Amino acid sequence: MTDPVAAPVLEVRDLHTYIATGAGVVRAVDGVSFTVGEREIVGLVGESGCGKSVTCRTIAGLMASPPARSTGSVRLASYGDRNLLDLSAADLQRLRGAHLSMVFQDPMSALNPMMRVGAQIEEAVGAHEKLSGRARRTRAIELMERVGIPVPERRMRDYPHQFSGGMRQRVLIAMAIAGRPKLLLADEPTTALDVLIQDQILSLLLELQRDFGMSMILVSHDLGVIGEMCDRVAVMYAGEIVELADTATLLEEPRHPYTISLLRSLPDVNSQSRYLRSIGGAPPALVDVPPGCRFAPRCPLALDQCREWETELLQAGAGAHTARCWRHEETRREDAWPEQSYESA
């Protein structure tokens, strides 16, 4: 891991993405800032609907507008000093695949069912480079070998439905790295896969990230995955980053009550308890966001002040560790927590 402050590959500053829906304006991403350093893997973790995927898609310029509108700035070092949010559709199209690429959650539906797998990889290879048919094919076979697809010459001629989920995800990864992007956005790349395959795919991503010197944003709701893969983690809740720290610090010394509750709700094999701990309540609807801290309604530590004013990300502990909580000094103390608050059936 290199120093992330030195030269961020990606800098996201005060990113807001609002989406107009029939029920009102959904504030899917509301003031998110973070950086991704050279060869760094940053994790975005949070429950469903907290804005992780929307953040990724906004960075890649993939949110349909209308109904979505974004403000703030997204800057890629490899693309000069331009705000990606201001790019024209044509510029975005040239940027995607070459400077940043994306791996999706569901490998079952992310491949075109009507096209042979080889043709789809060749197409990704040729999208940003003028190559002869033969060169494209050679490169496609190399890529398939690189991502661990056995007998690529034969598998190229198959259709996606003849591939297993894990193999399809490998194909999609091959397509994503075909343009040698500097930044890979992996949006829950293993959620649709079973645990063993999940591990293989994560190892592959890690290996490719090292070999190609890529930076990566890994979106997941699985703290185990995040812990294994990431250098730094941003915990998202209701469209905001509530805690940002390097992985070890976040897992060992979390400061935000939400992060602490999340970690406590992980099942513990050594525990005698027959119950799984959960966080009571549900995240707020992002249509009508109440004032104050967005976690306050579910937070056992919430004070009156928390329900009225929301804080910025505050420096917590040593190093680059920030948490969006007034009481971040106290949250590590066991006696600050009401005893029964996180013990539910």
Partner 1 sequence: MSVVLGPSGTLLESLESRSRTSRLGRGRITLAVGILILGTMIVASLAAPLITSAKPDAIDPLHPLLHPLSPGHPLGTDSFGRDIFSRILYGGRIDLLIAFGATSVTAVVGTVIGLSSGYAGGWVDTVIMRIVDLFFAFPFFVLVIAIVAMLGPSVFNMFVAIWLTSWISYARISRGHTLGAKRQEYTLAARALGYTNRRVVLRHILPNVISYVIIFAMVDAVGNIVLGSSLGFLGLGAQPPSSEWGVMISDGQNYLLTAWWLSTFPGIAIILVGVGFSLIGDGLADILRPGD
List interacting residues with partner 1 (CB under 8 A). 60, 62, 64, 66, 89, 93-98, 101-102, 104-106, 109-115, 123-124, 127-128, 150-151, 154, 159, 161-162, 172, 175-176, 178-179
**Which CB atom, from 114 or from 269, has the smaller least distance to partner 1?**
114
**Which CB atom, from 109 or from 305, has the smaller least distance to partner 1?**
109
343 residue type, one letter? E
What is each CA distance from 136 to 28, 141, 163, in whole angstroms?
39, 9, 21
Under DSSP, is residue 3 helix (H, G, I), strand (E, B) or coil?
A: coil
**Which CB atom, from 96 or from 136, has the smaller least distance to partner 1?**
96
Q: How many residues does the chain have?
A: 345
**Which CB atom, from 161 or from 274, has the smaller least distance to partner 1?**
161
Q: How far is the CB of 96 from partner 1 (least distance, A)?
A: 4
Q: How far is the CB of 130 from partner 1 (least distance, A)?
A: 14
**Which CB atom, from 90 or from 345, has the smaller least distance to partner 1?**
90
23 residue type, one letter? A
173 touches 103 (CB < 8 A): yes
Instruction: Name the pairing type of β-strands 215-220 and 41-45.
Output: parallel
The candidate with the shortest Cα–Cα distance to 121, out of 102, 141, 101, is 141
240 touches 72 (CB < 8 A): no
Under DSSP, is residue 164 helix (H, G, I), strand (E, B) or coil?
A: coil
Q: How far is the CB of 161 from partner 1 (least distance, A)?
A: 5
Q: How far is the CB of 107 from partner 1 (least distance, A)?
A: 9
The Cα 327–Cα 323 span in angstroms is 10
Q: How far is the CB of 114 from partner 1 (least distance, A)?
A: 4
